[in-house]
């Protein structure tokens, strides 16, 4: 029977959001997110294009079946085993006490802002950068300040010190490598910043595994910097975006602050089980990282060869442009079955590393999509 056809009118369904006592700052806001379109080549959200291998999928299924035996019980609120596994994966002498895990690093960083931001406080970041950062601030009633990066999208101590003097932040967010530019600042600069600032410094290393020297991480600074937080995710290099697992490493006291603000049992038993299987197979899951890195390095070279400007990226994506009408190029690519991202500096688009076949499709589509006179145009 068609339930729709017999449904009685429901007055509550006709109420508009504007009729509800919504928080005023949310008026007119749209839900965040890149378009999720079902097209053959999806290069828009920096995912790993390789699904987990069959052998690991089978282990995940077994682990979930095992977890299902106790799904009537709440999961381990502290996710101790998972945090110990994450510490072991990171190395640098870290233990479970230094790790906090959540449903994506978005949630983990949100916990930091819930604990250290709030009304009357300020979070400072350097743009262009990750489009979720303003949402963390909005969600926690924290003031949000974006200071422009240097022209090459990097940072230096003077710029950061001046920004801190001007805005007196309580929390600083630095994506490194930065999204959407892919540019990376040296760990030595992060050390300088930590030495000179007394705010919490969150270094978001979502793409660290893709960089030329993945071990050259702000994690090395943690032993001497109690206000440093290094965020990581399993969504990108680990090819586990669908599982929603992110985490951070920090002083145990910072982790304690996150434990205060998290909702109890925030990480489901199945999430914890899946993540632990993934970590036990980290070498296999990370097996495509060097290939993806090579893909995106080659692509940057190719794009420059087409007369486009491409900031040097250490991540699994890069910006390219400028285009007089980037939306037209985005649409022309989409019409050819290729989805990229309209984000970052005006007139630029972002693309991420796919399989070799996907890269070829992207290149062919882009050559078709670029306005003839547009190649190199606007760079004079
Ligand atoms: C993708 C990304 C994340 C990860 O988000 P998850 O919630 O872990 O999926 C975090 N920071 C940046 C800069 C990102 O690009």
- Percent of the chain past pLDDT 70, that is, above it, reads 96
| Centroid of ligand 1 to alpha carbon of 375 (angstroms) | 32
Coil, helix or strand at residue 345: coil
Which helix or strand (DSSP H or E) is residue 203 part of?
Answer: strand 200-204
State how far the alpha carbon of 88 is from the alpha carbons of 85, 92, 276, 300, in Å: 5, 9, 11, 34
Please check the confidence at residue 327 and state whether its pLDDT lies above 80: yes
Q: What is the CA radius of gyration of the chain?
A: 22
Q: Which two tokens stand for residue 50?
A: 């390789």
* Ligand 1 atom at minimal distance to the Cα of residue 45: 1
Q: Write out the two tokens for 94.
A: 């870290």
Q: Report the pLDDT value the prediction gives residue 33, as an integer from 0 to 100.
A: 83
Query: Which pLDDT value is given to residue 8?
Result: 87
What integer pLDDT is reported at residue 377 of this predicted model? 46
Element (H, E) at 227: none
How confident is the model at residue 3, as a pLDDT?
59
Burial class (CB in 10 A: 0-12, 13-18, 19+), 64: middle
pTM of the predicted model as reported, rounded to 2 decimal places: 0.95
pLDDT band at 380 (very low <50, low <70, confident <90, very high): very low
What is the pLDDT, as a whole number, of residue 4?
A: 62
Q: Which residues contact 63 (CB under 8 A, 6 or more apart)?
A: 273, 274, 276, 277
Distance 316 CA to ligand 1 centre (A): 13
User: Which helix (H) or strand (E) is 265 found in, with range?
Assistant: none
In the prediction, which pLDDT does 338 show?
98
State how far the Cα of 314 lies from the Cα of 46, in Å rounded to an integer.
13
Instruction: Give 279-289 pLDDT, tens digit per residue.
Output: 999 999 999 99
Backbone angles phi, psi at 234, to 5 degrees: -95, 5
Q: What is the pLDDT of residues 2-53, one digit of tens each?
A: 556 667 889 999 999 999 999 998 999 888 888 899 999 999 999 999 999 9
pLDDT band at 254 (very low <50, low <70, confident <90, very high): very high
The CB of 175 under 6 Å from ligand 1? The reply is yes
Whether residue 300 has pLDDT greater than 90: yes
Helix, strand, or coil here: 143?
strand
Per DSSP, the residues of 19-34 read: GS---GGGTT------
Residue 57 pLDDT > 80, yes or no? yes
The region that residue 303 occupies, defined by phi over 0 for left and psi between -120 and 50 for alpha, beta otherwise, is alpha
Whether the CB of 343 sits within 6 Å of ligand 1: no
Portion of the chain with pLDDT greater than 90, in percent: 92
User: What is the CB-side half-sphere exposure of residue 48 using CA atoms within 13 A?
Assistant: 27
What's residue 184's pLDDT? Answer: 98
What spacing in Å lies between the alpha carbon of 246 and ligand 1's midpoint? 8
What residue's CA is closest to ligand 1, atom 3? 206
Is the pLDDT at 374 greater than 70? The verdict is no
Tell the residue nearest (CA) to atom 11 of ligand 1. Answer: 206
Structure tokens at 48: 């790993």
CA angle centred on 206, ends 203 and 211, rounded to 5°? 95
Kindly tell me if the per-residue pLDDT of 379 is higher than 50.
Answer: no
Q: Compute the distance from residue 311 Cα to the ligand 1 centre, in Å.
A: 20
d(CA 367, CA 195): 47
Out of 195-204, 206-215, 237-246, 371-380, least confident range: 371-380
Instruction: Assess whether pLDDT exceeds 60 at residue 378.
Output: no
The residue with greater pLDDT, 309 or 374, is 309
Q: Per-residue pLDDT for 56 more than 50?
A: yes
Ligand 1 atom nearest to 175, measured from its CA: 13
Burial of residue 268, with CB atoms counted within 10 A of its CB: 0-12 exposed, 13-18 middle, 19 or more buried? middle
**Helix residue spans in the chain (DSSP H):** 3-6, 54-68, 80-90, 105-116, 133-139, 157-167, 187-196, 252-261, 269-280, 282-285, 289-305, 326-335, 356-369
Task: With cut-offs at 50, 70 and 90, classify the pLDDT of residue 372.
Answer: low
Counted residue by residue, the chain has a size of: 380
What angle, rounded to 10 degrees, do the helices at 80-90 and 269-280 form?
Answer: 30
On whether the CB atoms of residues 66 and 273 are closer than 8 A, the answer is yes
Nearest CA to ligand 1 atom 2: 206
Distance 104 CA to ligand 1 centre (A): 7
Q: Is the pLDDT of residue 244 over 70?
A: yes
Q: What b/e readout covers 124-148, taking b as 16+ CB neighbours within 10 angstroms?
A: bbbbbbbbbbbebbeebebbbbbbe
Q: What is the pLDDT of residue 121?
A: 98
Neighbours of 116 (CB within 10 A): 22
How many angstroms is it from 46 CA to the middle of ligand 1?
9
pLDDT digits over 60-116, tens only?
Answer: 999 999 999 999 999 999 999 999 999 999 999 999 999 999 999 999 999 999 999
pLDDT band at 197; cut points 50, 70, 90: very high
Query: Residues 338-366: pLDDT tens digits?
Result: 999 999 999 999 999 999 999 999 999 99
Helix, strand, or coil here: 97?
A: helix
Phi then psi for residue 170, to 5 deg, are -95, -30
């Amino acid at each position: 029977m068609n339930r729709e056809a017999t449904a009685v009118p429901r007055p509550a369904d006709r109420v508009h959001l504007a009729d509800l006592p919504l928080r005023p700052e949310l008026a007119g806001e749209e839900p965040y997110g890149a378009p999720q379109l079902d097209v053959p080549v999806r290069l828009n959200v920096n995912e790993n294009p390789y699904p987990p291998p069959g052998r690991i999928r089978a282990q995940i299924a077994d682990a979930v079946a095992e977890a299902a035996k106790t799904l009537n019980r709440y999961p381990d609120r502290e996710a101790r085993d998972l945090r110990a596994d994450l510490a072991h994966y990171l190395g640098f002498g870290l233990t479970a006490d230094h790790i906090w895990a959540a449903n994506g690093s978005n949630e983990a960083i949100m916990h930091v802002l819930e604990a250290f931001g709030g009304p009357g406080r300020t979070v400072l970041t350097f743009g262009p950068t990750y489009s979720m950062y303003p949402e963390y601030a909005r969600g926690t009633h924290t003031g949000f300040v974006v200071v422009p990066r240097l022209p090459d999208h990097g940072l230096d101590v003077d710029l950061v010190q001046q920004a801190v003097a001007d805005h007196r932040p309580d929390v600083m967010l630095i994506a490194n490598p930065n999204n959407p530019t892919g540019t990376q600042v040296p760990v030595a600069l992060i050390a300088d910043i930590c030495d000179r600032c007394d705010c919490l410094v969150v270094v978001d290393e979502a793409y660290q595994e893709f960089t030329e020297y993945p071990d050259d991480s702000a994690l090395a600074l943690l032993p001497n910097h109690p206000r440093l937080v290094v965020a990581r995710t399993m969504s990108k290099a680990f090819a586990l975006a669908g599982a929603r697992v992110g985490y951070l490493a920090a002083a145990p006291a910072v982790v304690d602050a996150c434990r205060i603000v998290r909702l109890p049992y925030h990480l489901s038993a199945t999430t914890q089980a899946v993540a632990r299987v993934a970590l036990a197979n980290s070498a296999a899951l990370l097996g495509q990282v060097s290939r993806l890195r090579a893909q995106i390095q080659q692509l940057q070279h190719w794009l420059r060869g087409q007369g486009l400007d491409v900031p040097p990226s250490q991540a699994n994506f890069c910006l390219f442009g400028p285009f007089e009408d980037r939306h037209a190029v985005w649409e022309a690519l989409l019409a050819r079955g290729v989805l990229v991202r309209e984000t970052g500096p005006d007139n630029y688009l972002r693309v991420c590393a796919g399989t070799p076949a996907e890269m070829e499709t992207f290149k062919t589509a882009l050559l078709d999509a670029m306005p003839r006179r547009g190649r190199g145009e606007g760079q004079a």
